Amino acid sequence: MLADRLDRKRILITSDLLRLAIQLVAGVLLVTDAAEVWHLVVLAGLYGSADAFFQPAFTGLMPLTITESSNLQPANALRSLSFSLGSLLGPVVAGALIALTGAGGAILLDAATFAVSVALLLPLRPRVVERGEPEPFLHDLHGGWREVRSRPWVQVFLLAMLVYHVIVLPSVFVLGPVLAEDEMDGATSWAIITFAFGMGSIAGNLLLLRWRPRFALRAAAGMLIVASCQAVIFGSGLPVPAIAAIEFVSAIGVSCFFTLWETSLQEHIPEHAISRVSSYDYLASAGAMPLGALVAGPVSEAAGIHETLAAMSAIGVAASVLCLATPSVRRLERGTAVPAPAVP
């Protein structure tokens, strides 16, 4: 909410500085063998709170850093590409750092990355936008919800996002590794699958540097159908190379879905409200994901892991198809930010 009222660049820098300090404390505690579980729990909570300010502010800042609206999708694709590369190389770098310096040393080096981020943000010169006097928090909260409620395509996509993050993604973070350990070659198999997924994410981002669908949101919903197949792929019983190959294709769907969805928000939500709407997006995705991770284990134990994975994809695909079938999703063309329609 604050990112629609305050300077977004300052919010990003503040978020980075807070996370730098948190990681610095965590690293020192680990290096000195003074860390206790409650220390790390508290620090993780503080880190999550600081991180929650970054994403909505970044989403709102992106359109202010480009010269032409036609460059918005490629800019988002490049940003997503950097995430994909980080996800692919990060575990390798982290493993090497832990082997060389220990967990504490790795976290201290991670703290330094936030200093690099601040150094890169400082020279950034986004377009200046006049802002009115800050409104009370509840007024801002209601204003953001009004922007969501006035656009059926946003509501439908938020619901589909919620289903994807709560039901489908736990297959990646919870059940997939368990299945790899029990029925495949353990960490080696999972590494092959995740590497293929990372390469597919990169391919999807490179594709969006050239491919600009006229109906971006329609394309995003179609890609979400592909992304929602991840769970059933893990439980398919296919050989690891086959699972990895299909996951490569699934990853293209994931990266295209997120980039086209975010671009659609930036093109159609007014500048003064984009960060608030993005906050609801963040809440429906990352904010709800721990719930699915918590439930996935007990459900798979009761119903069976293969049955649970199949059900995850079935529910995710059904939600994605309903999203694609919504007229406001299928008919929304490319555009630029416009005033929100009136809501009674």
* Helix, strand, coil tally for the chain in percent (to 5): 80, 0, 20
Is the overall model pTM greater than 0.95, yes or no? no
Domain hosting 228: range is: 2-123+137-330
Q: Which residues 6+ apart lie within 8 Å of 132 measured at CB?
A: none
Domain count, the chain: 1
What confidence tens digit (pLDDT) does each residue in 219-267 have? 999 999 999 999 999 888 899 999 999 999 999 999 999 999 999 988 8
Rounded Cα distance, 101 and 109, in Å = 10
Q: Are 179 and 247 in contact (CB under 8 A)?
A: no
Specify if 335 maps to a domain: no
Rounded Cα distance, 66 and 271, in Å = 14
In this structure, what token pair is assigned to residue 176?
A: 């997939």
Specify if 16 maps to a domain: yes
CATH code, 114: 1.20.1250.20
Rounded Cα distance, 109 and 94, in Å = 10
Specify if 343 maps to a domain: no
Specify if 344 maps to a domain: no
What confidence tens digit (pLDDT) does each residue in 303-314 have? 899 999 999 999
Specify if 341 maps to a domain: no
Specify if 238 maps to a domain: yes
What confidence tens digit (pLDDT) does each residue in 9-61 have? 889 999 999 999 999 999 999 999 888 888 988 998 899 888 888 888 888 88
Specify if 338 maps to a domain: no
